Chains A and B, each alone.
Chain A
Amino acid sequence: MNPPPATVLDQLELDALTELVNLGIGQSALSLAEMVRDEVTLSVPKVALVSRDEAIRTLGEREAKNLVAVHQVFAGDITGRALLIFPEARSLELVRAVIGGSLSIEEIIELEQEALAETGNIILNGCLATIANQLQRNLKISLPEILHGEGKEFFNLAPPPDPGDVVMFIYIDFAVRRSDIQGYIAMLLDMPSIAALKNLLGEYIQRVAGDSPA
């Protein structure tokens, strides 16, 4: 019997993780802002550790059926999948916000898939690389892939997931050029990875606490 996901990390570890996620997202926002040459705000209202089933349920309850996800896998001390998820209906809006200018709807539709993949790539890379750097670990991070479908498809990608998998569920608000889009980053981790993450967070906390005279 696996412990409930929410209790895998203690409060201090979860706080440290939230801090790292915020740093990472901040880095993503900088990268995006540089590219679109406009202000980009990425904020994280909430980070939660949930089970796969719960992640699927949350998406099902909060969002429309049709979702789009940018999917990347990462490997190293921690191995897993990262998904940037938002409603499909908002994807054109996101692309238009990122591209800017006065492109016609036809032109935007033409660019949608690529632009989406790249935008997701920037956000996920910023997040993952920053976390890896802060934990002083190295991650190999793959190229992005676009998925369309429902939450339960995203969390059941082959090879078959393990029932003990934990999802780090990050709610993000994405604001650029007067568009405000809510989405999620979900990091799917297996048990060994979550254990490794716990260790790394412990070391990180020690370092940070050691740095401060308090």
Chain B
Amino acid sequence: MVDKTTKSQHSVLDAVDAGLIVLDRERRIVQWNAWMASASGYALADARGKRLAELFPGAVSGRLNAAIASALDSGVSSLLTHALHPLLFSLKTRSGRRLLHDVTVSAIGSCPETGCLVHISDVTMAVRRERYLRERQNARYDAIVASAPDVILTLDGEGVIRFANRAAVVQFGYSEQELIDKHAVVLFEPGSDWDDAWRRALADERLRQPVELVAHRKDGSATYFSLSASRWQDDSHVFVTAILRDINERRAADAALRAREEEARAAAAALAHLNLTLEERVEERSAQLLKVEEALRQSHKMEAIGQLTGGIAHDFNNLLQGITGALNMVQKRVGEGRIGEVDRFVKGALSSAERASALTHRLLAFSRLQPVDPRPVNMNQLIGAMEELVRRSIGESIRLQMDAGEDLWLVRCDPNQMENALLNLAINARDAMPDGGTLRIASSNESFDASQASIRDLEAGQYVRVTISDSGTGMPPEVQARAFDPFYTTKPIGKGTGLGLSMIYGFVRQSQGSIRIDSQVGKGTTIEICLPRFHGSLEPAVRNEGAVGAGHAGSNEVVLVVEDEDIVRLLVAEVLKDLGYRALEASDGGAGLRIVQSPQRIDLLITDIGLPGVNGRQLAHAARATRSNLKVLFMTGYAESAATGELLDEGMHIISKPFSMDNLAAKIREVIESSFNLDER
């Protein structure tokens, strides 16, 4: 029975297509299957009871012994591969060739292990198949590389050529042996882009586009390539494969194309030159024309100035007469001790001086030197505030109709000038309606497209439109055409200066707006003023200067007055003292500078702009350098900077001469009381 089982086990073992060896604890062979007998040449009978080393002298490694020991001692399974143990045993295939095999050693039974199984598997086929596939793949790869029309070089990390294909031999004229081990850099022209391309390829940076290189053949002739290169790595070595494409033909074609382009460009340049000289000639003629035109305009201007000086000098003489006459009387009365009668003359002198002041303001506005004080304005509020004044100016016979647009946008302009303009236009309208009629003042928001804007000489955009319409006599076209000209008036002498509309025109244009006249004889006139929408909010304090006269006195704030005109400085200091402020005085910019740079408390700097030496503007900037929150009030007879649009810094204000003492006082108080703090922003 036992014999039968053993026999059947034997036949099973013999049927297995792998080598099976069973060792006992003494490492002696107890089993040995038919496969083993065939591969080793020893029959089971010869092998039984022997140790492996006796059967395979020199072909049993320490590793195998260790594996057997650990299987017997610890139940550990071990793998011994042909890769690391090519010489283990010496077995042959049935055809007599060397057999490649993997060996596994494992324990039989556990705790305790009764023996050990050595299992030998034939991997000859698998290894051969793999080798064959690899060789075939290599052959395919070799065929591609060898037949490639482009030069293919494999370089090691040092840039030394390790492989070169047939195209490389043909292109460079070196033999393959000459190319291998040569440093690639010697193939390329010194200073060509090779070094950079090599560095980038080695750093594995992608070459965005092929690099064009000049290379030298063995015979020294130059040849052009476009290079693409990429880096690769086997286990520890870096390689770069460089592919060089012959671009000599393309370069020749490019050169030809460039030559043709050059010819075309030269022809175009000649034509351009011709055009240019033509343009120059046209320009020359235009310049002459402009010159003539300019001369004509100048003569018009001279004529205008002639009219102006005639008219204004007369007015001024009258006003000066009033002032000097009154002052003479004051002097006389004071000399006589009749102080009580002085007041009347002083008032007369003041009144004349104020009128003279108003006249110069208007002149300055006309010459666009009038200081503008633009601020956000709600046009409806402004018109509303003017309603009463307008009503009184136009009299009972004319009906006033106000059509205020809803949700009117803000604009930014000088509100005083706007009021002036409204009043002027209302008065013009009244004069156009001697027999009564209707004066309509309307406001609205308008969005002008490009064409609507261009007829008004504006940019397309959002505007607030104010129209002043009368139902009066209207204007003939020739009057309309000249209506904005300075000194042009249809009124009898003494009834107007002719400056009204031109002043308004100046103001509106200064505010980036437009003014238009729409008029028909007998049907009335509409004046349209458009001012650009202002995106911002209303400043909180739009103070009516006239209303600020009396009121609270200052509380010892210190005001530095810098003014080279002694009398003006004296007057300003007096006003300050009256207002309850402490005045410091300096007669030029240098003196002012010393004070502002001292630790002296200063709450307000009042300075003339035109000072000898350091001017008022420089003084203010120097003061702001150390006193960033210092309030500044400029006095000026020109307001040139304000008129040229140079904006005043925050906390800086301007008052133009001449000013009345009341106005000065109001302005000073307004400035001192205004809140402004740079640090808080």
Contacts and interface: CB of A to CB of B under 8 A. Distances in A.
Contacts of B80: 118
A111 interface: yes
A181 B236 CA distance: 12
Given A92-B234, A140-B107, A106 B134 contact: yes
Interface string B225-255: 0000000001110000000000000000000
Contact of A125 (B78, B134, B138, B235): B78
Contacts of B223: none
Contacts of B76: 125, 128-129, 139, 141
B130 interface: yes
A111 B79 contact: no
Contacts of A117: 79, 81
Interface string A95-127: 010110000011011110011011101100100
A89 B73 CA distance: 36
Interface string B43-69: 000000000000000000111001000
Contacts of A142: 77
Q: Which of B78, B79, B82 has the most chain A CB atoms closer than 10 A to its own CB?
A: B79
A64 to B, nearest CB: 13
A206 interface: no
Given A34-B63, A93-B236, A114-B102, A138 B110 contact: yes
Given A31-B66, A138-B110, A143-B77, A118 B234 contact: no
Given A34-B66, A110-B131, A114-B102, A121 B78 contact: yes
B99 to A, nearest CB: 15
Interface in B125-145: 127, 130-131, 134, 138
A144 B79 contact: yes
A114 B102 CA distance: 9
A196 interface: no
B84 interface: yes
Contact of B235 (A34, A105, A139, A143): A105
A34 B134 contact: no
Nearest to A121: B79
Contact of B84 (A72, A90, A98, A129): A98
Provide the main secondary structure of the chain A interface.
helix
Interface string B99-119: 000101011001100000000
A143 B106 contact: yes
A143 B131 CA distance: 25
Contacts of B82: 114
A76 B63 CA distance: 25
Q: Which of B80, B130, B235 has the most chain A CB atoms closer than 10 A to its own CB?
A: B235
B112 to A, nearest CB: 8
Given A105-B235, A115-B84, A129 B74 contact: yes
B79 A143 contact: yes
A86 to B, nearest CB: 13
B84 A141 contact: no
A162 to B, nearest CB: 25
Contacts of A83: none
Interface residues of B, number: 31
B70 interface: yes
A176 interface: no
A17 to B, nearest CB: 18
A200 interface: no
A133 interface: yes
Contact of B63 (A35, A72, A115): A35
Contacts of A119: 84
B75 A118 contact: no
Contacts of A197: none
Contacts of B138: 106
B230 to A, nearest CB: 18
B83 A115 contact: yes
Contacts of A110: 127, 130-131, 134
Contacts of B63: 31, 34-35
Nearest to B127: A110
Interface string B76-95: 11111111100000000000
Contact of B83 (A31, A111, A129): A111
A49 interface: no
Contacts of B102: 114
Contact of A114 (B61, B73, B81, B236): B81
A132 interface: yes
Contact of A99 (B74, B78, B83, B236): B83
B110 A118 contact: no
A44 to B, nearest CB: 20
B81 A118 contact: yes
A129 B71 CA distance: 10
A84 B73 CA distance: 23
Interface string B301-330: 000000000000000000000000000000
A76 B81 CA distance: 26
Contacts of A76: 75
A35 B84 contact: yes
Contacts of B235: 89-90, 92-93, 96, 105, 108
Contacts of B131: 110
A111 B126 CA distance: 12
A140 B110 contact: yes
A114 B234 contact: no
Nearest to B233: A89
A32 to B, nearest CB: 9
Nearest to A145: B79
B117 to A, nearest CB: 12
B62 A141 contact: no
Nearest to B236: A93
A121 B134 CA distance: 27
B84 A132 contact: no
Nearest to A144: B79
Contacts of A138: 74-75, 110-111
Nearest to B69: A129
A214 to B, nearest CB: 30
A133 B74 contact: yes
A14 B235 CA distance: 37
A99 B79 CA distance: 16
A176 to B, nearest CB: 13
Given A92-B235, A99-B84, A143 B104 contact: yes
B75 A140 contact: yes
A90 B236 CA distance: 9
Interface string B156-169: 00000000000000
A108 B83 CA distance: 9
A125 B130 CA distance: 29
A70 B77 CA distance: 14
B20 to A, nearest CB: 15
Contact of B79 (A89, A90, A109, A118): A118
A96 B234 CA distance: 12
A119 B78 CA distance: 10
A171 B79 CA distance: 24
A132 B107 CA distance: 15
A141 B134 contact: no
Interface string A67-87: 000001000100000000000
B205 to A, nearest CB: 20
Contact of B234 (A105, A111, A115, A133): A105
A92 B233 CA distance: 12
A188 to B, nearest CB: 18
Contact of B70 (A34, A89, A125): A125
Q: Which 9 A-B pairs have the closest CB atoms?
A: A92-B235, A114-B81, A111-B83, A114-B83, A129-B74, A115-B83, A141-B76, A121-B79, A118-B81
9 contacts: A34-B62, A34-B66, A99-B84, A111-B81, A115-B83, A125-B77, A132-B74, A133-B73, A141-B74
Given A31-B63, A34-B66, 5 more contacts: A35-B63, A106-B134, A111-B81, A125-B78, A141-B76
Interface of A: 31, 34-35, 72, 76, 89-90, 92-93, 96, 98-99, 105-106, 108-111, 114-115, 117-119, 121-122, 125, 128-129, 132-133, 138-144
